[in-house]
Structure 1
Amino acid sequence: MADSQPLRIGFVPEHFSTPLYFAQKYFGLSATLIPFPSGTGHMITAIRSGEIDVGIGLTEAWVAGLGKEDTPGDGGYRIVGTYVETPLCWAISTGAKRPEITSVSSLKGSKIGISRLGSGSQVMGYVLADQQGWLVPGESPYADFVILQTFLNLRNAVNDGTADFFMWEHFTSKRYYDSGEIRRVGEIYTPWSSWKIVAANGLLPGGNPEARLQDLFKKLDEGVRYFGEHQDEAVKYISTELDYSEADATEWLRTVEFAKKTEGVDLKVIQSCVNILQKAGVLKEGKGLQPESMLAKGLGAQFPE
């Protein structure tokens, strides 16, 4: 793949994508931005099939994709950068007219809606079950994982009974609480920084990034800095081009911290994520890639001495 070709970058078309948009609009990021509204699980499939070169998505999904015992071949990608430092608040939602669902505790053994297998929405289902004490070895904490692809399908499913609940980012869900379409049951935060950047292994010859990847980090850093310095513009973009109100966009800005230096990943964050996913039953100890192997060493990865 020639360095002259623009990178194909997969992203989730939500408020978190704003610095990426600024990087392209104002700082000349040479890339084709490809939206994945169904989330990180779909990006894992796409990067392995050669449809995208880079993905910006949820930490837990990238880690699970490399750490599972059935991970194909070399995994297809490595975690190369950090996009968001703060945890993600996953809102737990059910249908507007589901009076039998009264609290998080009433969700044990129910049908959980997820976007795709291996997605953050599935992985966090296990983390929730672990926190609630629902995990029993050899048994699923839920009656079914209902694969629904998109946020719209998830909302419809909890109203028509196809699924009992689902989890999605808080501010993306909030508009539909306000409209009465769905109802909030609770929330759960990721126990790790929430968004990471991955690159196809073909972009990492000998573990070192090619020039296009280095340029991406430089332009993303500039996009993040611009985002921090022009929050009024960020709110306007989010509230006019994406599915958020101005008030929600403004409130979200108070809760999020993007990485000032996007290149590189702290190994301790990945180790912590793996440990929790093993406890939750998503990963099995000794199977799949180990945390050190999930990172590209030539990209400023922070390994303990």
Structure 2
Amino acid sequence: MKTIKIAGVPEHFNMPWHLCIENGEFESVDIDIEWTDVAEGTGKMCQMLREGTTDIAVLLTEGIVKDIVAGNASKIVQVYVESPLIWGIHVGAQSNYQNLEDLENTKVAISRYGSGSQLMAYVNANNQNWNTATLAFEVVNTIDGAVEALTEGTADYFMWERFMTQPLVDQGVFRRVADCPTPWPCFVIAVRNEILEKHPETIAQLLEVINTTTADFKEIPSIDKTLALKYQQKTEDIQEWLSLTEWSQNALTEKMLNKIQNQLFELKIIDKKGTFAEIVKAL
């Protein structure tokens, strides 16, 4: 049996992986999955791919594109979630900031440099015609760190997936002032080049298993209640999230990669563009 290490965020998007693991579907094709929850998000998973502490990562599209261009020896093998990620823009509940416009020239809490929370701060600033060169950041590592930073005032706002932060809004810890959807598919599956070269058949089998589950994921009886319980969400919020979320079983196209790289380049998040062959490997 081949052991494959996979890293992903501890969020509802990755429930299909956990179902496949629990149901023994990977074992049935002779794959032993070692799953690691990475609360720090995409920046941390890029580091894990570089260091070889994970073989595969399910991570934000913009983050891994940026890191592969910067030398990460991995490739995107597939889009995992086709729909945009809806980033909520949050302030502390007691903050004096009331509107998105109030946040210009304030400090952004981010999980780490190179993370989605940082890259989307640039996208949001550009959308608002703010000067992206003057963005200031406070590294907070996790959502718990963001709660501390926004409560104590060491940072002013924090961008994170809006449904995962909804409980904090409901509890009166955060206040959401706006949303900012990604202008591209939000999650992709990336694999270290070494693993792709040595075990292409295993990776292809693994993708077939997860794709079979994601194709019918929304049809699983009471999946909304299962997700609400596991991720401590209200069932109606999960139902809304499910209605907005589309999983994918397809490769990232060259057209979409060009769109992503062009935007990242315009925002000065990347200083050069990679070729399609350098970034994507369709199996």
Q: Is the shorter-chain TM-score for this pair beyond 0.5, marking a shared fold?
A: yes
**Equivalents in 1 of 2:40, 2:194: separation in Å?**
25
By how many angstroms is 1:291 displaced?
4.0
**1:199 Cα deviation after fit:** 0.1
1:189-230 CA distance string (max 9 Å, x none): 10001110000011222xx86222011111101221341221
C-alpha RMSD of the superposition: 1.7
Normalised by the length of structure 1, the TM-score is: 0.87
Tell me the distance in 2 between the aligned counterparts of 1:242 and 1:60.
25
Deviations 1:70-102 (A, max 9, x none): x24xx2211111111101110000011111x12
- Structure 2 counterpart SS, 1:273: helix
- Residue 288 of structure 1, CA deviation: 5.6
What is the SS of the residue equivalent to 2:119?
A: helix
Task: Give the Cα separation in 1 of the matches to 2:9 and 2:138.
Answer: 21
Distance 2:232 2:43 in 1: 21
Residue 9 (structure 1) aligned with residue 2 (structure 2):
no
* One-letter amino acid matched to 2:207: F
Pick aligned residue for 2:92 from 90, 95, 102: 95
The sequence identity of aligned pairs, in percent, is: 29
Letter in 1 for 2:117: S
User: What letter is aligned with 2:143?
Assistant: F
From 281, 290, 294, the equivalent of 2:275 is: 290
Structure 1 position 220 matched with structure 2 position 210: yes
Change (3 A) 1:31 1:219: same
Q: Is the 8 A contact 1:18 1:227 kept in 2?
A: no
- 1:37 is aligned, of 36, 39, 43, to 39
Q: Which runs of 5+ in 2 are unaligned?
A: 27-31
- Determine whether 1:279 maps to 2:266: yes
Contact 1:78–1:294 (8 Å) recurs in 2: yes
Secondary structure, aligned partner of 2:145: helix
Per-residue deviation at 1:231?
4.8
8 Å CA contact retained: 2:265, 2:273:
no
Alignment CA distance shift 1:291-1:282 (3 Å): farther
Summarize the alignment of residues 140-289 of structure 1 with structure 2, pairs less than 5 Å apart.
140-142=133-135, 144-205=136-197, 210-232=200-222, 234-259=223-248, 261-262=249-250, 264-284=251-271, 287=272, 289=274
- Segments of structure 1 that go 5 or more residues without pairing to the other structure are 301-305
Tell me the distance in 2 between the aligned counterparts of 1:238 and 1:6: 27
Letter in 1 for 2:108: I
Contact 1:27 1:223 in 2 (8 A): no
* Among 98, 108, 111, the residue aligned to 1:112: 108
**Regions of 4+ moved over 4 Å:** none
> Matched residue pairs, number?
278
* Counterpart AA for 1:196: V
